[in-house]
Amino acid sequence: MGFLSGLEKFGLSLEGVDITEEKEKKKKTVAPKKTAPILPTEEKDFLLKKEVKCAVCDKKFSALIIKGSKAKRMEPDSDLRPRFHGIDTVKYDVYACPYCGYSAMTKSFESLAPSQLKWVREAVCSNFKPSAVDGNARETYTYDEAVDRLKLALVSAMAKRVKLSEKAYICLKIAWLRRDQIKELANSTKPEDLEKKEAFQQEYENFYRQAYDGFMKVSSTETPPFYGLNQNTLDYMLANMALHFKDYQTSAKLVSSLLTSTNTPSNLKDKCFDLKQQLVEISKKQKAAAAAAKKPE
């Protein structure tokens, strides 16, 4: 399976990607009862359509964006993948022009130097095949659609020759979405779902590895913020990612640095203590296994 499989329908492909206070008491008065705010119940209720002008072909298109006041933040995943009540915000982080194929993270969509404009037209627009589906009719984006949009954004990012941190962040978002799709299919035994899950797992591991290797390199080659991430946040995220890849030495080193730094916020240190405990338990199990292996039969 190609690293950016699924882009063939757009006429694009990219193989071998590597992006390494008390007041005086007053007479009691009966306050009117406050009515609880009405929260959205469907994903589409969190969204609105925005008209966007493409920075490459100048055509206007409709994009779905999140109503900021509607989404209620929840506790993120261990690797800081954002979570909101009722909606997956990661699916709406990209603007993708349906006419020329130029795509980018929303905050980077208009950031194009003349040379980048030329590169995108040559590497993306000249080969792009517009989708037959009317994007203006969309009420939400499915996970697969969101992944396709992020892959298109990665192709454009490669063409623009952006900083590694931006490319690594896009890879991370693709991995996050695939991870959720794997969870959705966890209990299914249908042959077609098992096939999908295997493909999603492969893409998840590939893109998560690209993000991890990319951000590890970013730490020593770029200056913060790293595409919006400060050093502490990046180090904590990498410590969790290292745990996934069983790179325990790197994870422990990052956790130790965060715990001993006076610049680490207290809430992040609390998270680091939890992660340190996981590493301690893993170390105990490894030592016990090693000791058992040395015992004579």
- As given in the structure block, the two tokens for residue 290 are 């090693």
Q: What local confidence, expressed as pLDDT, does residue 170 receive?
A: 98
Please report the pLDDT score of residue 136 as a whole number: 61
Residue 6: its pLDDT value, please?
72
Task: Note the pLDDT of residue 24.
Answer: 46
What's the confidence (pLDDT) of residue 270?
A: 95
Residue with tokens 């590497």: 123
Model pLDDT, residue 21: 45
pLDDT recorded at residue 22 = 42
pTM to 2 decimal places: 0.86
**3-state SS of 90-150?**
HHHCEEECCCCCCEEEHHHCCCCCHHHHHHHHHHHHCCCCCCCCCHHHCCCCCHHHHHHHH
pLDDT in tens, the chain (297 residues): 566 667 777 777 666 667 774 444 444 555 555 554 555 678 999 999 999 999 999 999 999 999 877 788 999 999 999 999 999 999 999 999 999 999 999 999 998 999 999 999 999 999 999 875 555 668 999 999 999 999 999 999 999 999 999 999 999 999 999 999 999 999 999 999 999 999 999 999 999 999 999 999 999 999 999 999 999 999 999 999 999 999 999 999 999 999 999 999 999 999 999 999 999 999 999 999 988 888 776
The pLDDT of residue 134 is 54
CB 198 within 8 A of CB 156: no
| Radius of gyration of the chain measured on its C-alpha atoms | 23
Model pLDDT, residue 200: 97
> What per-residue confidence (pLDDT) applies to 8?
77
pLDDT in the model for residue 23: 41
| Cis peptide bond upstream of 225, omega within 30 | yes
Other C-beta atoms closer than 10 Å to the C-beta of 296 total: 3
What pLDDT is recorded for position 38? 53
| pLDDT, position 135 | 56
* C-beta of residue 86 within 8 angstroms of C-beta of residue 43: yes
pLDDT at 25: 44
b/e for 155-164, b at 16 or more Cβ within 10 A?
Answer: bbbbbbebeb
* Residue 85 phi, psi dihedral angles, 5° rounding: -70, 120
